[in-house]
Amino acid sequence: MLKIPTKGLYVSGTDTEVGKTYVACLVAKSLCEQGHRVGVYKPVASGGSRVDEEIVAADALALQEAAGLSRCLAAICPQVFEAPLAPPVAAAAEGRAVDREMLRQGLMYWSDKCDVVIVEGVGGLMSPLSEEDYNATLAEEFGYPLVLVAANRLGVIHHAVQTLIAAAAFGEGIDTAGIILNQVQSAVDGSVSANREELEKRIRVPILAEVAWQATRFSEPIDWYALANQNR
């Protein structure tokens, strides 16, 4: 069994471009403000930028800053590829392959360096991380409660319900802590004011909070540390 931090959360999305990194950073900042040592881990990233001959993931930089860390960017995201494609496709474009073992072993770096770790996936829950692995694969293996980020816009009900079904059906089932409704753009459609209420009628997991456009706080206080208990 992997020696990994005993407390953590796995942040995934109902789709791509729903603001997972933004929300994960807010979670990390909140935990830091409460006095916890926070680790942040993104197993793999694509769409990186070249900086001094290295490919750097913007998401990893944001997570590093949010957790108040330095000099550990490679530990935050050990595998970064340049093409803005699914990681296995981006890796193949470079004549490489995603290292499946590193996806898992990279988390061990944080075993004695934090009180709680925030793991952020890539894309939606069923987006591939390697030729064989999905976000759901690691979420189930790591055993951390799942925090689903959903874009607060028309269509969110379908995306959220569909993702929760996938989480419940994957392997032995993935424990879901709840959903964060995130407003991803300044302009809103008519569904935004009703989405939370409509979702709560149809799902059994809680809507933990909402995040307004460019907000620096969640709409209500959340005890993230209490939520970050392994379901194993």
Give residue limits of the domains in the chain. 8-227
Could you tell me the pLDDT band of residue 174, with boundaries at 50, 70 and 90?
A: very high
Question: Could you report the per-residue pLDDT of 54-109, keeping only the tens digit for each?
Answer: 899 999 999 999 999 988 899 999 999 999 999 999 999 999 999 999 999 999 99
Could you tell me the pLDDT band of residue 53, with boundaries at 50, 70 and 90?
A: confident
CB atoms within 10 A of CB 82: 16
Looking at residue 1, what is its pLDDT?
A: 54
Looking at residue 202, what is its pLDDT?
A: 97
Of 217 and 72, the structure prediction assigns the larger pLDDT to: 217
User: Average model confidence (pLDDT) for the chain?
Assistant: 95
Looking at residue 2, what is its pLDDT?
A: 61
Could you tell me the pLDDT band of residue 121, with boundaries at 50, 70 and 90?
A: very high
In the predicted structure, residue 232 carries a pLDDT above the cut 60: no
Please pick, among 3, 7, 29, 42, the residue that the annotation labels catalytic.
42
CATH pick for 8-227 out of 3.30.479.30, 3.90.180.10, 3.40.50.300, 3.30.300.210:
3.40.50.300
Q: What is the mean pLDDT of residues 174-199?
A: 95
Asked whether the CA dihedral 65, 71, 76, 81 is positive or negative, the reply is: positive
101-119 burial, b if ≥16 CB within 10 A, otherwise e? eebbebbebbeeebbbbbb
Alpha-carbon span 149 to 169, nearest angstrom: 19
Question: Could you report the per-residue pLDDT of 137-152, keeping only the tens digit for each?
Answer: 999 999 999 999 999 9
Is-catalytic flag, 201? Answer: no
Looking at residue 231, what is its pLDDT?
A: 53
DSSP per residue over 80-92, as a string? B-SSSS-HHHHHH
In the predicted structure, residue 230 carries a pLDDT above the cut 80: no
